[in-house]
Amino acid sequence: MPQYDESGRLLRVGRDLKHIAFIMDGNGRWAERRGLSREKGHTEGMKAFEKAVKYCGELGLEVMTVYAFSTENWKRPEREVRKIMALLEKYLDKLLEKASEYEVRVRFIGERKSLSDRLQQKIVMAEDATSKYGRILNIALNYGGRAEITAAVNKLISAGRRTVSEDDISGALYTSGIPDPDLIVRTAGEQRLSNFLLWQSAYSEFYFTDTLWPDIDEAEIQRAVENYYKRTRRFGAVR
Ligand code: IPE
Ligand code: IPE
Ligand code: MG
């Protein structure tokens, strides 16, 4: 069960909550409401992301996954795409500089070949530099659930398989070996997956909030966790 301090602040999640995945939505609306550029919204979103990573670590979560850029997000203006990629590069620079401060094993999930060579190199370096840490941060970048499942099946076919099991597919996904998300949090009011973790979310709980991603804070994450603990997870069985 989760632990709290005297003031009611959440300190630790229970062992039955290992993995939270966030669909970080609403950066654009956050900026537009303030008369700012969408790019500015992504800058603020990055700050919120860094704080959320820190808090999720303190809570004792084994895995945190964030949806940073979907396979469909290339449809956005080039300037906006460039800004998102630049912010991620900057984050990797920071991570490479002080990996020991972050104490998180970063992993990128998604198709990499379409990313710039420099970003691809930094991803490899960051994954190597942080591979000794136990807590996992998955960053979904140029990620699409359908593309992931399709790639997994093709991988198995290339390996000579003619029929595949569910375990085979799970094992061929980017998330192989990582527990499925217990809880998926989506900010900014939309109640859809937008091609995120389609396979892995089969029995995830969902928490939707109108809070825009740049405004997400510890209190909102605490609400999501508390909401999770009110659910009864049956996985199809009778309790
Ligand atoms: C951030 O929010 C998610 C990304 C695709 C980077 P959005 O940029 O989608 O914000 P809204 O939905 O336009 O408000
Ligand atoms: C989902 O958000 C992708 C990310 C959060 C990276 P979008 O803003 O792209 O999703 P839609 O277009 O509203 O479904
Ligand atoms: Mg959006």
Catalytically annotated residue among 5, 16, 25, 180: 25
Q: What is the pLDDT of residues 34-72, one digit of tens each?
A: 999 999 999 999 999 999 999 999 999 999 999 999 999
Residue 167 lies in a domain: no
128 is a catalytic site residue: no
**Residue nearest atom 13 of ligand 1, based on CA coordinates:** 28
Residue 53 lies in a domain: yes
Distance of CA 36 from the midpoint of ligand 2 (Å) = 19
- Report the CATH number that the domain containing residue 55 is assigned in CATH: 3.40.1180.10
Instruction: Specify the pairing of strand 205-208 against strand 136-143.
Output: unpaired
Q: What is the pLDDT of residues 180-236, one digit of tens each?
A: 999 999 999 999 999 999 999 999 999 999 999 999 999 999 999 999 999 999 999
111, two tokens: 């198709």
Catalytically annotated residue among 73, 168, 195, 227: 73
Residue 157 lies in a domain: no
For the beta carbon of residue 9, count every other beta carbon within 10 angstroms. 11
Residue 236 lies in a domain: no
Query: Would you say the CB of residue 73 lies under 6 angstroms from ligand 1?
Result: yes
The whole-number pLDDT of residue 239 equals 81
Query: Would you say the CB of residue 195 lies under 6 angstroms from ligand 2?
Result: no
Residue whose token pair is 């094992």: 171
For the beta carbon of residue 83, count every other beta carbon within 10 angstroms. 20
**Ligand located closest to 69 CA:** 2
Residue 31 lies in a domain: yes
Residue 23 Cα: closest atom of ligand 2: 5
Residue 42 lies in a domain: yes
The whole-number pLDDT of residue 10 equals 97
Residue 134 lies in a domain: yes
Its domain, for residue 113, covers 13-144+180-228
How many residues does this entry show for the chain?
239
Query: Would you say the CB of residue 188 lies under 6 angstroms from ligand 2?
Result: no
Which of 22, 23, 25 has most ligand 1 atoms within 8 Å of its beta carbon, as the pocket-test mutant? 25
Q: What is the pLDDT of residues 66-121, one digit of tens each?
A: 999 999 999 999 999 999 999 999 999 999 998 888 899 999 999 999 999 999 99
73 is a catalytic site residue: yes
Q: Has residue 5 got a pLDDT over 90?
A: yes
In 71-223, DSSP assigns E strands to 105-109, 136-143, 183-186, 205-208
Determine contact, residues 173/149, Cβ cutoff 8 Å.
yes
Residue 154 lies in a domain: no
How many structural domains is the chain composed of? 1
Residue 73 Cα: closest atom of ligand 2: 9
**Residue nearest atom 10 of ligand 2, based on CA coordinates:** 194
**Residue nearest atom 2 of ligand 2, based on CA coordinates:** 25
